[in-house]
Structure 1
Amino acid sequence: MAAAVSTEVIPECVDFLEFQDSLKKMRSLDDKIVYALNTSIPTESFKGQVDPSSTCKQLHDQLKSSYKKRDAAIKRCISYTAEKVKQLKEQREKNANDPVLLKALRKEQTQLRLLQTELSVEEVVREQTNKIYYERCRAFYKPPDLDL
């Protein structure tokens, strides 16, 4: 797979700000989890009109799918950028005094660190969402996998 990554350009991984924007869009459900729960889990007076267990299950499935997509996107970009760093290091060994090459290497190393930081951000977002979800849905739906 590494050979395929080195020749393939992944557009969303080249521009970190663009990648962050796409992650922000992918995190919209997490950002609006309280609203989603408030609108989908009925109050006592409306319990007969909505099935909270199916609503919680559906929300759980949406969150799980979203997490998988974001995790795959982040890891794909980390892999892509790590391969670019590796290639630039190999080129630097052949031509250590090339300032353009050194600048490109530093840029890619910085981008790699930023992408790795996104994994930590993702973990925090996931923990916060899981906490809110569990507090509101624990009485209606218990997912087979406790961690989303």
Structure 2
Amino acid sequence: MSTKKQLIVTDTDILKELDCSDPLKFQNRIMRLRKFDDKIINILNAEIPTESFISKGQVNPVNKCNQFKQELRDYYDSRESAIKKCIEYSKNEVDKLKHTPDGTPLYLIKEKNYNVRLYQQELEIDRIDQARTFKAVEERCRAYQ
């Protein structure tokens, strides 16, 4: 039974620790995760070999590319679901405040609505980062398909 070395090494435990009740803490943690996106070219260069290494038969680039793409899909799916969880959490907070019988102050409802928009913006940013990362992977792996 052989286990493949994971090509993408990221701190996915951060996703489990995301605190949806504190938007600033959330943004700081998601920013740490996005540092991976900034390093994607370096990771690709380290993991997917150049022609000289392929000709020596040291690495199978097709397998590496496929593994890399699958790991990226899994990683981004978990990141997206974590952000969507926070969007849902914030929407529920707004609904609770709107339906409190004692009449919640308007500024609290506005604050929670702001949090919903903030998480939705983070989701859009994440989708842009994801598209850019997959474009870099496709360009690098194009020759091996």
| TM-based fold match above 0.5 | yes
- Of residues 132, 137, 145 in structure 2, which corresponds to 1:133? 137
Q: What secondary structure does 2:115 align onto?
A: helix
Give the letter aligned to residue 113 of structure 2: Q
Structure 1 range deviating more: 56-65 or 27-36: 27-36
Residue aligning to 1:106: 110
Tell me which stretches of 4 or more aligned residues in structure 1 moved more than 4 Å: none
- Of residues 32, 36, 52 in structure 1, which corresponds to 2:39? 32
Cα distance in 1 for partners of 2:75, 2:33 equals 7
Residue aligning to 2:12: none
Contact 2:49–2:61 at 8 Å: present in 1 too?
Answer: yes
Residue aligning to 2:77: 68
Shift of 1:109: 0.8
Q: TM-score normalized by structure 1? A: 0.77
CA displacement 1:100-146 (0-9 Å, x = unmatched)? x32221211111110011111111111111111110012224xxxxx
Q: Does 1:58 align with 2:67?
A: yes
Aligned pairs, how many? 127
User: Gaps (5+ residues) in structure 1?
Assistant: 1-9, 142-148
The CA RMSD measured in Å over matched residues stands at: 1.9
User: Gaps (5+ residues) in structure 2?
Assistant: 1-16
Q: TM-score normalized by structure 2? A: 0.78
Cα distance in 1 for partners of 2:18, 2:97 equals 19
Where in structure 2 are the equivalents of 1:12-27 lying within 5 Å? Answer: 12-27=19-34
Residues 1:128 and 1:11: Cα distance change in structure 2 (over 3 Å): closer
Give the letter aligned to residue 48 of structure 2: I
